[in-house]
Structure 1
Amino acid sequence: MRRWIAATLTASAVVVATPAFAYAAPADPVGALQKQFVEGRGVKVSETTRMTSDGQDTGAVSRMTGVLQFGKSGVVASDITRRVKLDGATKKIVASDEEGTESLAALFSPTRYITVKGKTYAKGGAFSQDLPEGKKWVSVEYAPEAGAGSSQVIDIFNKPLLKTLLKGAKSSKGGVYKGAISVKDLTKATSGTAVKGKLGKIKVEYQITVNGKQLITRVVSKLTLNFGLLGTMATTTDTRYSGWGAKVSVVAPPADQVIDAKELGENAPEVPDLLNLNGSRD
């Protein structure tokens, strides 16, 4: 009798367990991301960008950290800070006492960007120069919330683009999607308008990593430009996402501390927009 009971329980366990394997939900990073779009929630982001010249590290490193705030449709606000580590040659120039190096030093100092309600506010860096007394922030033209101050050409919050990249990946072993896409196809998927000509033919290598919950934790992209006899220049951007679902509240700076970039004249700095590959200003 005991043997019969043991055999019955074992068989029952197999029957109960089988559907869990047979009907396991398919991998769906796009769906998992969409579920994160809850008002007042967001994600932490950190990013490192390095450049190489003919395969040699230039020594210049750009780092970005901050938070992205979500709404029902995606990213609605961001608060990020960018820092730049200079290469040896540039560092010597900035450290010299030559005329004009003060403004150059300011250009590479930490810069903070707050983007909320379709407006971007910048503080520090190139935006710290020639400001009227009491003004600490410069309001600039609209920039995409997820990309303000970012060097990452892959916008994971763009649903058509993310679908294209995941589908076109050559491999997805261990939750790491690897592939390559032309700038033409990347821009077409992002904004519907493809960049053509030589720039459109350039390949962007990418790697998208998801965790057990299918949430994206890392995006690496590499874009290489070939200048013929002048050699090649490659930019690799490594973006990490953590703390999905955390409470995030981004607010604009105090109005009395803000000045419009237009009031600073034609030489007012602009928010970085790497090659405009994201079609953000279309």
Structure 2
Amino acid sequence: MPAATPAATWDPRQYLRHGDHRARPFLDLLERVPELPAAGGRPPRVADLGCGPGTLTRLLARRWPDAHLTGLDNSPQMLAEAERFAGPTDGGGRLDFAAADAAQWAPAPGTYDLILSNATLQWVPGHPDSFPAWIAALTPGGTFAFQVPGNFDAPSHVLMRELAESGSWRERLGGRLRHADAVLTPAAYLERLTGLGCEVDAWETTYLHVLKGPDPVLDWVKGTGLVPVLTALGDDAEAREAFLAEYGALLREAYPAGDHGTVFPFRRVFAVARRGDA
């Protein structure tokens, strides 16, 4: 059995190295969010669950300029980066950030007009079990919208798991990485949320990101999926570099560079659930 899993150490700069590509699913999700319910004269109340470095949370002020926006995350490194965006927004609203773990987060009923989560819930085992509490936290007519990666059976993740479970790495890394059941299918999310009385729009999209530079897929996953490995090996620079060298070679074979860059297919799953008015 592996030792107790240390808290993940996130690197906002590494995460943001592919910020343009990472922003696109967020913007596509936002396009499908309906208008928020009338708030009886008060500003709309919006939560971004798993806000990361805050670069996308601040974009919510463009859609709802008078809203009170709160970014929530459990990474001190990400929250420290996000704090630079805190304060009044140009439209008279307010943006703030707070520590919260999505695995335990349960706001009071009727607290929010929109709960949005972008590329976070895949880190939360059993996250659909939290849906009833999160839907209850919406005002009538409010929306819960989220996006999660759906690429856990892609070579990038399969090769990572296989290497971590191989003989030379199993003792330190075995059991630390997520498997294909980390997220549900769009149909399963639709079923769960419809059963909670929501009007649901669920879909999936595979983006074909064209990445530049040497070992670009490795550079991408170092900012996200590889974080548990980098955390576990954080006190052993030699082991960390050895793992990256082995994994990087596997990725170069799985994702060969072409004349115009390296094509990195990335499937994502989306759901937008509007709570009934009653």
Q: TM-score, normalised on structure 1?
A: 0.25
Q: TM-score, normalised on structure 2?
A: 0.25
Tell me which protein shows more helix as a share of its residues: 2
Tell me which protein shows more strand as a share of its residues: 1
